[in-house]
Amino acid sequence: MSTTLLLLASLLALPLAAQAPTAAAPRTVLVMGDSLSAAYGLSAAQGWVALTAEQVKRTRPGWRVVNASISGETTAGGASRIAAELQRHHPAIVVIELGANDGLRGLSLAQTRANLDRMIQAARKSGARVMLIGMRIPPNYGPDYTRGFEANFKALADQYKLPLLPFLLEPVARDRANFQADNLHPVAAAQPKIRDHVWTVLAPLLK
């Protein structure tokens, strides 16, 4: 048998993986949020999550962002969905941005915390790191509820030693021009500021 035929035969005998190594799959950042992360009233590409995905693609090779946010989502909804999302995407990082709809509806603070706790535990059990994003609400239900709502996020972050962004809308909240007509959802022009705010906590996790 000629040298060429021997070489060809040896190559054909190699496993496919040995012949052509494949690139490692990108690690995933999974965002579980509500309308503030689902780009309510905007095109999906205008929202802070999509803008973050673009920034990750440019600056953090080997990572990708998946947005599993749903407008109107409560912490109960997130807790019921997270197992399926973890199974589907196998994320390395889970960003939880939920609670605003609980607060606007005056739902039980203890239940909101329990739902977030379930999500955190599920994500950690899967091997993912968790980043928690907090929210603030108007004082419609009184100061005790308002303070307790905000305190839930810090308490959970302290309990599980999580990276915490205390208030998603911090850089835009004080200017009415940053919001749509409902005075709840930021306009497109405000989304890059929110992206940059989130990035201060997310970027160090993308190693």
The CA R_g of the chain, rounded to the nearest whole Å, is: 21
Evaluate whether residue 37 is within a structural domain.
yes
List the one residue out of 142, 145, 187, 148 whose CA is nearest residue 169.
Answer: 187
Per-residue pLDDT of the chain (207 residues; tens, 9 = 90+): 454 444 434 444 444 444 444 567 899 999 999 999 999 999 999 999 999 999 999 999 999 999 999 999 999 999 999 999 999 999 999 999 999 999 999 999 999 999 999 999 999 999 999 999 999 999 999 999 999 999 999 999 999 999 999 999 999 999 999 999 999 999 999 999 999 999 999 999 998
Which of 34, 35, 102, 197 does the annotation list as catalytic?
35
State residue 24's pLDDT score. 78
Instruction: Establish whether 182 is a catalytic residue.
Output: yes
Say how many domains are in the chain: 1
Instruction: Establish whether 69 is a catalytic residue.
Output: no
Evaluate whether residue 131 is within a structural domain.
yes
Evaluate whether residue 191 is within a structural domain.
yes
Evaluate whether residue 121 is within a structural domain.
yes
Evaluate whether residue 143 is within a structural domain.
yes
Which of 102, 126, 185, 197 does the annotation list as catalytic?
185
CATH number (domain holding residue 54): 3.40.50.1110
- What residues make up the domain containing 164? 25-205
Which of 2, 10, 43, 182 does the annotation list as catalytic?
182
Evaluate whether residue 7 is within a structural domain.
no
Evaluate whether residue 91 is within a structural domain.
yes
Evaluate whether residue 145 is within a structural domain.
yes
